[in-house]
Structure 1
């Protein structure tokens, strides 16, 4: 729907997502901006993030994953995966890059891992972040080699998915999710 305070879809579609689509969903993976839009709540700390996940659970969603938030610091973002019975947070290292499609890739990876791990939310979150980090870092590294100074053109920030097939199939994660509920 959007990110960084900007809608990618027409604003008049928001009520359709919020009121019609969300109650039908089993799993959603909004970023902070989208989660705030869907609930009308603000997220400036972990308690408020948990209030948002709870509000989305109350709409009928079984698994809520906040794919990224600004709750971290200068070097990390925070992701949150929540079910009615458990909740995990994960610190995601920031990469000095802006890649198009990371939210879509996050959703696809999380859904695949959720199925493959038989609904293990913690492991699904860890594997998703491990894969995403590998792909984004590799994409940035290759783009930076091509452009040694200045801003990297968007065409060079196309996610290196095929080149990172091994990371998609068998991610290596040093980042662990921490149970918070």
Structure 2
């Protein structure tokens, strides 16, 4: 499998491509990373250095990949945090050209906007752009519950309203939706869930909720679920593998006491997930 991953990059720590690439490689996926920013560290520190990469330059990198004859061999285009408005046009143009070269290719979009605790942390124009132009062009999206609500103009909280919101999102274009960080009021205390929905049904998995904030964990989640799902077409299996891998990554990070994801130290969790969580069919 070959993935073109258009995301941010940091030198210190693990977010964007700096979080997604290694886990994908560890499960045998060939990744072509294209950077939209090249920062010293993620912006959660409140200070960082390095450039937003001009969309013209991002397009040039992608054009160079096309020059090598790679487009017909690309199975997935994966996108995450979009540092500037112009990146969307570059991504959508790349998706169109790659799908023309390989009709079996899919576009997986992580519509990064924010979360329920922090609110939106992207430029004001980005959520609108994602909702109106980018998400409708995607085959698979991986919003958290907060982002799902923005995309659909709803306030999903219960399982039923979250499923209804997913149906609204799927009606706009993407046939497969992974909802991360599902926190419904009637769930077991001290837990968090993920929900996956495609044409075959809906599945949910519950894991312990660790008392920590982990920048980049959503990027790992989107990458692993996308790869597993593209490989098998089985949403339940992809959900089980992803939940197991990401939980162990987070547990290792929490145990370490470090702020940054223990990405390399947790590599066996991607390659050989222990599948410790039950996936249930719902809806």
- What SS class does the counterpart of residue 163 from structure 1 fall into? coil
Tell me the equivalent position of 1:42.
155
How far apart in 1 are the matches of 2:152 and 2:125?
15
Which residue in 2 is equivalent to 1:151?
none
Match of 1:99 among 207, 210, 214: 214
Distance, in Å, in 1 between the alignment partners of 2:207 and 2:181 is 8
Deviations 1:72-100 (A, max 9, x none): 34311121100133100111210111111
Alpha-carbon distance between aligned partners in 2 of 1:85 and 1:124, rounded to the nearest angstrom = 14
Q: Residues 108-133 of structure 1: CA distance to partner in whole angstroms, max 9, x if unpaired?
A: 111111123x1110010010010000
- Structure (1 or 2) with the greater strand fraction: 2
4+ long deviations beyond 2 Å: none
**Distance in 1 (alpha carbons) for counterparts of 2:267 and 2:243:** 15
Larger Rg: 2
**The one of 181, 185, 191 aligned to 1:76:** 191
Matched, 1:159 2:261: yes
What does 1:1-181 align with in structure 2 at a 5 Å threshold?
1-5=113-117, 6-71=119-184, 72-116=187-231, 118-143=232-257, 156-181=258-283
Tell me how far 1:165 sits from its aligned partner.
Answer: 1.0
TM-score by length of 2: 0.58
Distance in structure 2 (CA, Å) of the matches to 1:170 and 1:26: 27
Distance in 2 of aligned mates of 1:170 and 1:67: 22
Q: How far apart, in 2, do the equivalents of 1:13 and 1:162 lie? A: 31
Unaligned runs of 5+ in 1: 144-155
Q: Shift in Å at residue 67 of structure 1?
A: 1.1
How far apart in 1 are the matches of 2:208 and 2:250?
11
What is the CA–CA distance in structure 2 between the aligned matches of 1:74 and 1:100, rounded to whole Å? 23
1:4 Cα deviation (Å)? 2.2
- Report the number of matched residues: 168
Residues 67 and 80, structure 1, Cα contact 8 Å, conserved in 2? yes
Deviation at 1:36, TM superposition (A): 0.5
Normalized against structure 1, the TM-score is what? 0.89
